[in-house]
Amino acid sequence: MNLAIMASIVKVLHIPRITKYGYCPVYQVVRNHWNKDYKPGPYPVTQKERDAAAKKYGLLPAEYEPYPDDGLGHGDYPKLPAISGDDKDPYYPWDFPEHKRNFNEPIHVHADMYGEDRYNVSFKPRFSRLYMWTSFLGVVGGFFAIYFFMEDKKMFRPVEVSLLVSHSILMSSDRMKPSSGEWAVMIAFLQKAAITSLSSVSIPEVVQHVLSREPELGLHLQHV
């Protein structure tokens, strides 16, 4: 039991060696800046306070303009123009070329949104919004108008259809004909048409056309 206790104590004594500053964890806290160091000062009211704030942020008094005191907590932080990363000169000798920034340069309050991989606030589209909306509504509205006004006006390409039916097929036994469906109705209609046309004195134009195009597949009048 005593050996187990001693082993535990030895392990505890070796824990600080894991980190460089293990003996003083408070050092990791106090050696860095506090959040209050990044907090802007109070909103400047007098001209003297405005000049002091401009000097603090590295701006000229004529360039300094604070955000309105509307309760959002910007304080004396300067209201800088919104310039996206894409609009900054890539050939300028920046101190930090990856961010296109200089040392100790104040950044925009929404700088995390205006990077080169983010929103481009200065982007100029090729066409105006009015042109894009007009094009969109014109195309969609045009197709809808065509559909709405032309739905009841069916239009098809005229095609000449030649129906070639021989007398033997029409006069075949009922076992050769389908019992139901569209084919049964069509064959029954053609049988009646053939009988009517063959029994009449004048041959219809349809039968004449069939006989003129395909005599060998025509109706055999001698069988009637």
Helix segments in 65-128, DSSP class H:
none
Query: Do 215 and 189 fall into the same domain?
Result: yes
Is there a domain that residue 75 lies in?
no
Give which of 154, 148, 149, 165 is closest to 216, Cα–Cα. 165
pLDDT given at position 152: 83
Residue with the bigger pLDDT between 56 and 13: it is 56
pLDDT higher than 70, residue 16:
no
Is there a domain that residue 42 lies in?
no
Matching residue, tokens 């001209």: 47
Is there a domain that residue 108 lies in?
yes
Percent of the chain with pLDDT over 90: 26
Mean pLDDT on 169-191: 51
Please tell me the distance from the alpha carbon of residue 53 to that of residue 39, in angstroms, as a whole number.
13
Number of structural domains the chain divides into: 3
Is there a domain that residue 104 lies in?
yes
Percent of the chain with pLDDT over 70: 54
Chain segment 26-40, per-residue pLDDT in tens: 666 666 666 676 788
Query: Do 118 and 136 fall into the same domain?
Result: no
Is there a domain that residue 139 lies in?
yes
Q: What is the rounded (10 degree) CA torsion for 173, 174, 176, 178?
A: 160
* Confidence class for position 140, pLDDT limits 50, 70, 90: very high
pLDDT higher than 70, residue 90:
yes
Q: Which domain holds residue 179?
A: 167-223
Mean pLDDT on 72-96: 89
pLDDT higher than 70, residue 61:
yes
